[in-house]
Chains A and B, each alone.
Chain A
Amino acid sequence: GPKNLKSGPLRSSARNQRSQRAANRRETFLPESVNVGSEATMQGGSSGIGYGLKYQARCISDVKADTDHTSFLTGTLSLKEENEVHLLRLSSGGSELVCEGLFSHPNEIWDLASCPFDQRIFSTVFSTGESFGAAIWQIPEPYGQSNSSTLDCVASLDAHVGKINCVLWCPSGKSDKLISMDEQNLVLWSLDSSKKSAEVVSKESAGMRHSLSGGAWNPHDVNSVAATSESSIQFWDLRTMKNVNSIERAHVRNVDYNTKREHILVTADDESGIHIWDLRKAKAPVQELPGHTHWTWAVRCNPEYEELILSVGTDSAVNLWFASASSEKQASERSAEASRQRVNPLLNSYTDYEDSVYGLAWSSREPWFFASLSYDGRVVIESVKPFLPRR
């Protein structure tokens, strides 16, 4: 296919460009930045594996259902050009990032999520510039061949009017449930991928006052979904489709559950960085992390190492945090807490990015890898192995 042929050289040119850029930066900027940060830059630049998308992009997702490879799906955000979805695979040695498939997508992609039980299925939220839409797609089989660059649309989630924020897949294995969320509504879908249909199970409005901005599905309780709104974090019970609980907190931008520790939720907001909550006593956060110099855009808990948290921000950095404190410990061991405070929770800051970083995903297969995506379309895979807690 012409597409694939085209993407090959372009990719390599992107690589060249990047390495050139890195070289350029090292020459021109190292002498100026004599601070400690320069070392981190060097480190981040040398260890990461990069890949360039053709256009700007915001979202990347781990392909959890692919148990044989560490792969990621990412999609571009271009208002005027033909958008693409890239299926990227990390080579077995973890030294190279290979494009396994390149598919055209009709509109610019604002959200992308891979299906947790079928590696060929994923969802996108897209915009035509005038209006938003959401759909479930299937990668044609066998992918990677020349004639298979168009995606099959499994279902269109067209129950929305306003700006759609995200599509969430039920995290528990093989459930066919999906949630799509726009600024006012929460819609629960039942997906039948073989019949290529998705039906609305229930739909509920959060009310005009609450402008929803995103959410996360509780991995410990399939009936619970956290949604972020302008003034609070809301917890929805999917059986009754009611907002059963909420934490008052303005302008939360992103939320993620800790998959290893029940009741622990991590949020990011523009103003005061990262907060870790214990949902059993949600009056005040258990721990606060400073976040980023500018907005903290997204946070993700590591699927395996419960203390590790990643965050990305519009200050063109990815920060790796170590949040060891469980709520009980903190309350009882005051002296220990004091000593812990002295230890910097920021394990590392990856700063080798040219633009704001919006996309972030841990690999669930090899949980020491994560993929980050900056606005200029650059995917960087990094390994956190040097920072893993000793067990």
Chain B
Amino acid sequence: MATEAAPMDEKAKRMRDLLSSFYTPDPSISTPTSSISTSFDNINGPSFDADQYMDLMIKKSNLDVLLQRHVQMAAEIKNLDTDLQMLVYENYNKFISATDTIKRMKSNIFGMEGNMDQLLHKIMSVQSRSDGVNTSLFEKREHIEKLHRTRNLLRKVQFIYDLPARLQKCIKSEAYGDAVRFYTGAMPILKVYGDTSFKDCRRASEEAIETIIKNLQTKLFSDSESIQARAEAAVLLKQLDVPVDSLKDKLLEKLEQSLDGLQINPDEASKLAEHNVSSKDEESNNQGPAKIHEDAVRGFSEAMRAYREIFPDSEERLFKLARALTTTHFENMELYIRKRVSAADFLGIFREYSAFPPADVLLLSNSLRIIWEDVVLMDEVLPEAALSDLSAEAAQVTLKQFVARTFSHLQQDISDTLLKFDINQKEVVDGEVLKVVLEASGKAEFRQLLDENTGIFVKMNDLLIGWIQKGFQDFFSEKIHAGLILVLAQLSVVIEQKVIPRIAEEITASFSGGNSQAFIPGELCRVFHAASEKLLQHYIDTRTQKISNVLRKRFKTPNWVKHKEPREVHMYVDMLLQQLEEVGKEVKQILPQGTFRKHKRSDSNGSNTTTSSRSTTLHSDKMARSNSQRARSQLFETHLAKLFKQKVEIFTKVEFTQESVVTTTVKLCLKSLQEYVRLQTFNRSGFQQIQLDIQFLKAPLKETVEDEAAIDFLLDEVIVAASERCLDATPLEPPILDKLIQAKLAKSKEHNNNNKTTVSS
């Protein structure tokens, strides 16, 4: 079916192409639409060469095909001819009809101009006649108008004479509106002609108006009157040019005074909040303060509504008032935060935090909630005052302050504890503290702060997180203590893994609607994840930097070419181990243990001695060979050895486990050691010193690090590097090496004992 349909389609298409090529002047436009390739056998193409085509046909095809092709072509040509004829005929037809149309149009237009001239003439004559009528009627109209004016004047005079009586009548019926209307209507005339014959009349009406004003004022000030009536009175007074503003000022002052009573003391606010919470339990009893406050705010907003209607032009003032109220609220809160945060004993608070929800945060959020409610009330009355924006802004500022403050205190507290840690060396207790701090800051602080789901908080969640992050960064750049960085790294992980999902849950739970878009947990997780990795890397960097400084000093100071025979293990080894120990301690307090533990401590002791002794013999072998004046071949051999040794992955990705961090640190330090060695040139004694130091390092390092193979490899590399950089690489005799190491071990043990005795005494 498809195969049959295809040639038909093709034919039709070709037909269409031909037609369209006939109509379009540029053949190149039509050719791309053709499905036939543009090669020379394309009979419709512009580059078709008939001779070439013929040649090819003759060469390619046998007689039958040629004949068939001939018949086919003849048919096609005939078809084309008829098509062409049809087209020509159609075109001719169209042309004829077009000429006819044009002819008709010409004849229709002819004679139009004469008609137009006639029309113009007639219109002119109509206009001249209407002018004539107008002038003839003018005089009479003038006269009528004059009479009318006189009549009006007479009526006005009559009105003024009647005015006092009318006003009196109005006062009696309390129709002050009419009275004012009459009076203001008569005012211009009375002003101009008041000194002439209208004198008595004027005086009488002025007296009447005086009483009206008095009546209106009392009406305005009386609270018992309806708001509408009071508003009307105000309007009338204004119309009578009585200075209303002074009255308004008086009223607003009164309102302002009432504001003082509305201010919230955060302590009370917390009480209010507590009552709000507890009111569920004991509904009737203790609603007092909360109710009072709410009533006060409601009263205030009612008053505002009234004044707004009475004095529509006084909105500015009211705005100011409402804003003042909110600002004072926030100022109070700020003060409170300052007071509260600075006065508190932070360690205590943190401890508390881990046990109870933090009072501070609860308080803050309650105050904010109350303010928000107030604002909502006022907002209903004064939507233009943009109170919600204002309070959102203010709340933002307050929260920012709060976060900043808590941060600075958190920072201070952590550093305090760490200082204590340095002084006291009470690892266990302070380890607890670190953990407490970590948990407190992680669980209570941010969670509480972030969990709040009032409108303001939702608006500000992301901002808050931004600040917290910024806090981290500021923190981070200060480089107070390496341990802090580690704490922060872990904190980021906690936030990433626990806090954010919870916030997301909370938000989706309470706002299934649109608002939650501002909070994208995935993005935040990513940010915190990146931050934690960065922090961890930074921790390792600062740690290795410290060690690197020790090593740099060690290798830059002595003249290694003129080194004296090694007498003991150099003391930089102690410093190195001490630094690593510190890292180990910090890491143990903060990071979780890895899941995989290579060996138990008990058998590691046993195996350690054997491996170390074996490697000693290995080394002395290697050194002996290198000593035999075949250093080049030795280098070649080490290279070859490297080829067949599995390449030890020195730089692996750091994980959030104790072991990984320690291992990475040790590896980086040993690599640095190797690089420092490579930059020096040693004499035999210098080389032996390195050999001794490295040999000593072997056992303690292996004890601390999980990846023993890597450590072995790196330590070997250091020795190899030293031997390569040595003019005469004769290693120490194993017995001497052993003796020196034993001496060092004994010494450090003694040192430790001394330390212990001093501590215990």
Write the residues of chain A forming the contact surface with B, with a CB cutoff of 8 angstroms.
17, 20-21, 24-25, 28-29, 33, 55-56, 78-81, 127, 129-130, 211, 251, 270-272, 293-295, 314-315, 354, 356, 375-376
Contacts and interface: CB of A to CB of B under 8 A. Distances in A.
Contacts of A293: 651, 668
A56 B635 contact: yes
B725 interface: yes
Contacts of B647: 25, 29, 354
Contacts of A33: 649
Interface of B: 541, 545, 548, 552, 556, 561, 631-632, 635, 639, 642-644, 646-647, 649-651, 668, 671-672, 675, 678, 681, 724-727
Contacts of A55: 632, 635
Contact of B545 (A211, A271, A314, A375): A271
A271 B725 contact: no
B436 to A, nearest CB: 32
A229 to B, nearest CB: 13
A293 B667 CA distance: 11
A270 B551 CA distance: 13
A356 B631 CA distance: 21
Contacts of B678: 356, 375
Nearest to A54: B632
A81 B725 contact: no
Contacts, number: 60
The 5 closest A-B pairs by CB, nearest first: A293-B651, A129-B681, A80-B631, A271-B545, A294-B671
A376 B721 CA distance: 11
B548 A271 contact: yes
A271 B541 contact: yes
11 contacts: A21-B643, A24-B643, A56-B724, A79-B681, A79-B725, A79-B726, A127-B681, A211-B556, A293-B668, A294-B675, A354-B647
Nearest to B727: A129
Main secondary structure of the interface of B (DSSP, over half): helix
Nearest to A290: B537
A81 B646 contact: no
Nearest to B675: A314
A375 B677 CA distance: 13
A376 B548 contact: no
B651 to A, nearest CB: 4
Contacts of B644: 24
Given A129-B561, A271-B548, A356-B675, A315 B650 contact: yes
A314 B632 contact: no
Main secondary structure of the interface of A (DSSP, over half): loop
Given A129-B681, A271-B545, A271-B548, A376 B631 contact: no
Given A129-B561, A130-B561, A314-B675, A81 B632 contact: yes
B129 to A, nearest CB: 77
B632 A79 contact: no
B39 to A, nearest CB: 36
Contact of A314 (B639, B671, B724): B671
B648 to A, nearest CB: 11
A294 B649 CA distance: 13
Contacts of B726: 79
Contact of A294 (B556, B643, B651, B724): B651
Nearest to B545: A271
Given A129-B561, A293-B668, A375-B678, 9 more contacts: A20-B643, A80-B631, A80-B632, A130-B561, A294-B651, A315-B650, A354-B642, A356-B675, A356-B678
B310 to A, nearest CB: 50
Given A25-B647, A270-B548, A294-B651, A376 B724 contact: no
Contacts of A315: 650-651, 671
B560 to A, nearest CB: 10
Contacts of B668: 293-294
Contacts of A127: 681
Nearest to B542: A271
A80 B651 contact: no
A292 B726 CA distance: 28
A55 B639 CA distance: 11
A127 B680 CA distance: 11
Given A271-B545, A271-B548, A80 B727 contact: yes
Contacts of B646: 28-29
B241 to A, nearest CB: 58
A320 to B, nearest CB: 18
Contacts of A24: 643-644
A354 B556 CA distance: 27
